[in-house]
Each structure stands twice: as C-alpha cells, then as structure tokens.
Amino acid sequence: MSETSTPVTGRPYGDFAQRDTAVHPAAYTPGYKTSVLRSPRNALISTLNTVSERTGPVFRADELGPLDNDLILNFAKEGLPIGERIVVHGYVRDEFGRPVPNALVEVWQANAGGRYRHRNDKYLAPIDPNFGGCGRMLTDENGYYFYRTIKPGPYPWRNRINDWRPSHIHYSLSGDGWAQRLITQMYFEGDPMIGQCPIIKTIPSEEQVRGLIALQDIGNNIALDSRCYRFDIVLRGRRMTHFEATKQGDR
C-alpha cells in the first residue's frame, strides 16, 4: 500500500497512546457479582504496539443496509414499534480531539418495556413485534454518526434481587486500530436510576460516568415527531510523532 498517513490528519500512523486504566472499571468489581469469577487475578501484561495493534479491520459502507441505522423501521412488520421516538447523534473522536472517520458503531437495546429480543431474556414484559433492537452505522469524515430508535425501558436483573438497570443503549466501536476496540453503554440525562446501578458504579469517577450520559439536545428535536439526544465518544488516539524515535527494524 502506498498510503502511509491517516486520511483525516495526514499524519503518519503512529502508536496509540497508553490506555489510562484509571478511567475505566477494574476487572474485579464485587458489587457487580458476575465479575467475581470472570476477572483475571493476574495483572495485565503491557506490551509495545506492534503492527498487530496499530492496524484494525476496515469496513465498507456497502456492507451495511439502508435501514441499519433506523431501529424504528428496521424490524417493523405490520406497524410501528411502541414507545418514545428518539434520534441519537454525536461525534466519535480520539483523545487528541481528532475525528475518527469510518468507525463501525453498533448499538443494541431493550424495547420500550425493558424486554430484549433474545432467547435468554425471560422478563415478563412483552416483546414488541415491530421492534428488533439493533442497529449499526459508519461514522462520516467528521466522525459523525446518527440513528433513530425507541427509548429503551429499565429492566430488573439478578444481581441483588431488586436491582434494576437504568435505561441504556449498548455501544460497540471499531475504530482505526485494534487497540481502540471499545464496548460501552449510553445512559439518559436525568435518569434517577443512574446513581443506583452496580454496573455504573464499577466506573471509578463521576467525570467518567458523566461521559456515558447522553444529553437532551432540545434544539435538534424534530417537532411533532422525535426528541433528540447527543452522545459523543472518545477513543484512544495515535500519538503525535514530532519527537518519535524510530525503533530499529520497525518500519
């Protein structure tokens, strides 16, 4: 390949900055009970980026369908799904503020009553025959994405016997390198259940919790149609290369 710099910044493809583990949940978080037997006991082993971590899968727009980012219509059979119509939009940037174009953003969620279309979900709230609950899109050249959906409802789960998840939408991001791979969850401004959730409490700081809360974007509501939420995402960034030492044999 002749292309040796990122399409947006024109900078050379550098290593990713070290992940700041202090901004993420620890693996072992006993308030979230399932983590107890599913968290490594050894420390992670930190490695230098190699070509394996600097690179990552590339996705093409023609692999996605025209309704893939419209959860209101992409599973509608004989009518529209029931619930609050919302649009969610925002930017995916790296930690140095640069847009991440062509990132694959995948989302999944429960329906308006808090029921997932999944063979293992036995909650008594009903399935909505016109709602699937998943969507996907690629960010544009500015790192912008948007999709339309039904606002999900909260639901109970067996952690403590009366724990409930706040309304949330799951997000998966594949950016421009394997080291950027991220799965997270988005919550909604003003939800009183955010402060009680054991999964949110795995996050070590208030600031990082705020980073997962989508804000009402009233100016972008669509009159008599849909409300709007704004949610931006930050992925790891490639380091600037002003002073980068070239490692022998690396390139």
Partner 1 sequence: MDRFSFSPIASFAPVRLPETASQTAGPYVHIGLAPKQAGFDIFENDFGPVLVGPETRGERIAIEGRVFDGSGSLVRDVLVEIWQANADGKYAHPADRQDRPIDPSFRGWGRACASFETGVFRFETVKPGRVSGAGALPQAPHACLVLFARGINIGLHTRLYFDDEAEANRSDPVLTGIEWDVRRQTLIARRTQRDGLPVYALDIRLQDTPDGGLETVFFDI
81-140 positions binding partner 1, by CB under 8 A? 93, 95-97, 106-109, 116-121, 132-134, 136
Q: How far is the CB of 51 from partner 1 (least distance, A)?
A: 5
- Please, what is the minimum distance in Å from the beta carbon of residue 5 to partner 1? 8
CB atoms within 10 A of CB 65: 10
Query: Which stretches does DSSP call E strand in 121-181?
Result: 134-138, 144-150, 155-157, 163-165, 168-174
Number of residues engaging partner 1 in binding (CB under 8 A): 93
The two tokens of residue 51 are 């070509």
| CA distance linking residue 167 with residue 180, whole number of Å | 26
Strands 213-216 vs 182-188: parallel, antiparallel or unpaired: parallel
Residue 219 binds partner 1, judged by CB under 8 A: no
Exposed (0-12), middle (13-18) or buried (19+): which is 158, by Cβ within 10 Å? Answer: exposed
Interface residue with partner 1, options 70, 72, 74, 81 (CB under 8 A):
74
Instruction: Pick out residues in 39-58 that bind partner 1 (CB under 8 A).
Output: 39-42, 44-58
The nearest distance, CB 140 to partner 1, in angstroms, is 19
181 is catalytic: no
Both structure tokens of 218: 């009233």
Query: Between 185 and 204, how does the x/- string for binding to partner 1 read (CB under 8 A)?
Result: x-------------xx-xx-
Stretch that binds partner 1, among 81-89, 138-146, 209-217, 220-228 (CB under 8 A): 209-217
Of 30-38, 76-84, 146-154, 214-222, the segment contacting partner 1 by CB under 8 A is 30-38
Would you call 211 exposed, middle or buried from its count of C-beta atoms within 10 A (0-12, 13-18, 19+)?
middle
Q: Does 1 bind partner 1 (CB under 8 A)?
A: yes
What the block records as the tokens of 42 is 């050894």
Residue 67 per-residue DSSP state: T
Catalytic residue among 32, 145, 147, 155: 155
145 a catalytic residue: no
Integer Cα distance of 95 and 105 in angstroms: 17
Scanning 36-44, 79-87, 143-151, 221-229 for contacts with partner 1 by CB under 8 A, the matching segment is 36-44
Task: Look up 118 and say whether it is catalytic.
Answer: no
Q: What are phi and psi of 186, to 5 degrees?
A: -110, 135
Nearest distance from C-beta of residue 223 to partner 1, angstroms: 30
171 among known catalytic residues: no
Q: For residues 229 and 88, is the Cβ–Cβ distance under 8 A?
A: yes
155 is known as an active-site residue: yes
Query: Measured from the CB of residue 85, what is the shortest distance to partner 1 in angstroms?
Result: 19
**Interface of this chain with partner 1, residues 147 to 186, rule: CB under 8 A:** 170, 172, 176-179, 181-185
Contact by Cβ (8 Å): 128, 111: yes
| Residues with active-site annotation | 116, 155, 165, 168, 170
